[in-house]
């Protein structure tokens, strides 16, 4: 089969809600309502915990879930996306609030929202893929580390003499005040952790975070345990619904907040579209990335004007929505309405929640988002340059901030990529003839075995081209052998290796044998390091297409004999 280019179709700027309502049924409405209620219960303790980690009041996390969640479901490009506060923003929001106050945060979030709307209208959704996976993994792990360090104080009940903002300063303060730890606080924290870890193994349907909050709040209240609660830390907690409030804009303030606004916009775009991709795989749908960016931009503007903080698509809550039967944006709208009802009717009881329980919830959030398995896999299989980008981004996120980390990571990744491309570029003096007709290795001149498919990859396999390999295995006809021809692949990075790994995994599930033809030196080293030679078999790496086709014919005979 001749190689072909993957060309994504032009996306419509049309909310998914409009599309899905054409064939909406009563049965699906019931499922969406049930899923929306369950997701709201999951979102409640998470929204409170993430707001506290972001340096704002607990109710502001709920305002974000209500307003941003509603707008994203109303306007978004995904059928099942659930939006709200996420851990990705905790450190940057805390930094902005500490240095610029809530007015500064509102201005930065509105600017970020405008940026995302412009990105969506200009069809920039596809450009998010140009941010390498190593940078995303690096700052995600870095954020997880900062969240974990930031919660040590409340988990152990430490009494700080100062109020540090930077992560490095927090570590120093923890070391100075470690002797002030509270045994009751630590015990409540450990009990909360035990519930969060063990409860899902028995009753996954009921959120472990809700059980931890209820159980530990009751223990602290009725056993009169000397532990800090949300009410102690936030005595003025409000149960009032979100109210409109416009910030004070000034050119000097907007100019100073441009880097933070850019970071919020990039983070929101990456996490939202990543959540969309994950949910697409779960329900067999396809999101509209540009419409999703417009919706996320509008949601962040709305959230900030109604007392909330930056929001994005929440992968965990979106996955919970899918697992509980949600299949349309109605589930997300129901989730927002239920959170609003809980805020108005039950918020005074949030004062009883122990701070060590909030810290324990955030420990689990940090663990779930850190992606340590992906970090280990990258270290083992990726080129040293990719590993360097990952760790530089990680360290800069922890030591400095996300603005610096993403900027340095992108510049470093671009420089290393340019070097990689320069190392494999060659100049040829071509004779002016039609190469397509005279190339003796043209696949159209070869005899391909009946149950074999040949795909040729041309050009470097790197992060920006990863979507071009999705068409492999899209062939609806059944076949036994997949031959991947790589004579024109001069270089490959970690994302390219992962793309090939996914192809091999899918082939294994379908019982398809894989053969690689003419793998060049640099890709061969990367593939060997990633364990491809052992997984596919050294005998299935051929130096020429003719050898590969002979190997395919031999494998077809073996398969035919085994079926006889």
The tens digit of pLDDT for each residue in 247-261 reads 888 899 999 999 999
Residue 219, C-beta contacts closer than 8 angstroms, at least 6 positions apart: 188, 191, 225
In a domain, 15, yes or no: no
Residue position matching structure tokens 């995303």: 136
Residue 286, C-beta contacts closer than 8 angstroms, at least 6 positions apart: 280
Do 345 and 384 reside in the same domain of the chain?
Answer: no
Cα(417)–Cα(442) distance, rounded to whole angstroms? Answer: 30
Q: What sign has the CA pseudo-torsion 179, 184, 185, 188?
A: positive
Q: For residue range 70-121, what is the model confidence (pLDDT) as tens digits?
A: 999 999 999 999 999 998 899 889 989 999 999 999 999 999 999 999 999 9
Give residue 422's pLDDT band: very low, low, confident or very high (50, 70, 90).
low
More confident residue, 295 or 369: 295
Do 464 and 407 reside in the same domain of the chain?
Answer: no
Bridge-based pairing of strands 83-84 and 312-313 is antiparallel
Do 520 and 399 reside in the same domain of the chain?
Answer: no
Do 346 and 471 reside in the same domain of the chain?
Answer: no
Do 371 and 461 reside in the same domain of the chain?
Answer: no
Q: Label residues 452-478 b or e (16+ Cβ within 10 Å = b).
A: bbbbbbeebbbbbbbebbeebbeeeee
Residue position matching structure tokens 């997880």: 144
State which residues form the domain around 401.
Answer: 377-416
pTM here is 0.76
Res. 8: pLDDT tops 90? no
Range with top average pLDDT, 198-207, 286-295, 442-451: 286-295
Give residue 182's pLDDT band: very low, low, confident or very high (50, 70, 90).
very high
Res. 265: pLDDT tops 60? yes
Res. 1: pLDDT tops 60? no
In a domain, 32, yes or no: yes
Average pLDDT, the chain: 87
Q: For residue range 331-346, what is the model confidence (pLDDT) as tens digits?
A: 999 999 999 999 999 9
Do 335 and 384 reside in the same domain of the chain?
Answer: no
Counting residues of the chain whose pLDDT is more than 90, the rounded percentage is 55
Partners of 481 in beta bridges? 452, 513
Do 406 and 509 reside in the same domain of the chain?
Answer: no
Q: For residue range 215-239, what is the model confidence (pLDDT) as tens digits?
A: 999 999 999 999 999 999 888 888 9
In a domain, 3, yes or no: no
In a domain, 476, yes or no: yes
- Taking alpha carbons only, the member of 296, 262, 222 closest to residue 69 is 296
Do 342 and 457 reside in the same domain of the chain?
Answer: no
Do 502 and 527 reside in the same domain of the chain?
Answer: yes
Do 55 and 86 reside in the same domain of the chain?
Answer: yes
Give residue 7's pLDDT band: very low, low, confident or very high (50, 70, 90).
very low
Do 214 and 296 reside in the same domain of the chain?
Answer: yes
More confident residue, 456 or 425: 456
Helix, coil or strand: residue 486: strand
Structural domain count of the chain: 3
Cα(375)–Cα(492) distance, rounded to whole angstroms? Answer: 18
């Amino acid at each position: 089969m001749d190689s072909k280019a993957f060309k994504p179709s032009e996306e419509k700027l049309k909310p998914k809600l409009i599309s899905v309502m054409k064939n909406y049924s009563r049965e699906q409405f019931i499922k969406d309502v049930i899923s929306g209620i369950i997701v709201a219960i999951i979102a409640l303790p998470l929204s409170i915990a993430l707001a506290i980690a972001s340096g704002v009041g607990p109710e502001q996390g709920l305002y974000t879930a209500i307003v941003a969640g509603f707008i994203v479901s109303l306007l978004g490009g995904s059928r099942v996306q659930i939006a709200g506060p996420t851990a990705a923003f905790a450190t940057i929001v805390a930094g902005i609030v500490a240095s610029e106050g809530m007015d500064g945060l509102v201005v930065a979030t509105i600017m970020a929202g405008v940026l995302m709307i412009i990105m969506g209208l200009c069809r920039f959704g596809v450009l998010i893929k140009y941010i390498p996976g190593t940078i995303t993994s690096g700052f995600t792990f870095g954020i997880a580390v900062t969240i974990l360090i930031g919660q040590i104080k409340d988990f152990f009940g430490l009494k700080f003499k100062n109020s540090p903002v930077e992560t490095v300063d927090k570590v120093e303060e923890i070391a100075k005040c470690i002797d002030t730890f509270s045994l009751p606080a630590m015990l409540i924290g450990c009990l909360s952790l035990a519930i969060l870890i063990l409860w899902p193994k028995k009753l996954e349907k009921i959120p472990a975070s809700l059980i931890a909050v209820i159980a530990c709040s009751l223990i602290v209240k009725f056993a009169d345990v000397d532990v800090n609660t949300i009410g102690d830390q936030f005595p003025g907690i409000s149960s009032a619904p979100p109210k409109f409030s416009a910030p004070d804009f000034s050119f000097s303030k907007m100019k100073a907040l441009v880097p933070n606004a850019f970071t919020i916009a990039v983070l929101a775009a990456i996490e939202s579209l990543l959540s969309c991709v994950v949910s697409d795989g779960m329900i067999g749908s396809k999101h509209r990335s540009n419409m999703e960016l417009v919706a996320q931009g509008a949601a962040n503007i709305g959230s900030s004007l109604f007392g909330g903080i930056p929001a994005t698509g929440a992968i965990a809550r979106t996955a919970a929505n899918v697992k509980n039967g949600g299949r349309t944006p109605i589930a997300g709208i129901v989730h927002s309405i239920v959170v609003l009802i809980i805020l108005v009717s039950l918020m005074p009881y949030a004062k009883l929640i122990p701070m060590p329980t909030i810290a324990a919830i955030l420990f689990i959030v940090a663990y779930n988002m850190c992606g340590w398995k992906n970090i280990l896999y990258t270290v083992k299989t990726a080129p040293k340059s990719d590993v360097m980008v990952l760790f530089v981004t990680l360290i800069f996120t922890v030591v400095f901030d996300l603005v610096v980390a993403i900027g340095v990571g992108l510049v470093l990744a671009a420089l290393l990529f340019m070097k990689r491309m320069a190392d494999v570029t060659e100049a040829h003096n071509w004779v002016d003839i039609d190469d397509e007709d005279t190339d003796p290795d043209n696949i159209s001149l070869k005899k391909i075995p009946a149950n074999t498919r040949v795909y040729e990859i041309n050009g470097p396999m790197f992060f920006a081209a990863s979507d071009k390999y999705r068409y492999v295995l899209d062939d609806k006809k059944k076949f036994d052998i997949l031959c991947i021809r790589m004579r024109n692949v001069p270089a490959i990075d970690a994302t390219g290796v992962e793309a090939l790994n996914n192809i091999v995994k899918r082939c294994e599930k379908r019982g398809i044998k894989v053969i690689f033809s003419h793998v060049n030196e640099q890709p061969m080293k990367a593939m060997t390091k990633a364990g491809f030679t052992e997984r596919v078999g050294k005998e299935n790496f051929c130096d020429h297409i003719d050898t590969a086709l002979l190997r395919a014919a031999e494998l077809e005979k073996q398969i035919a004999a085994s079926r006889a």
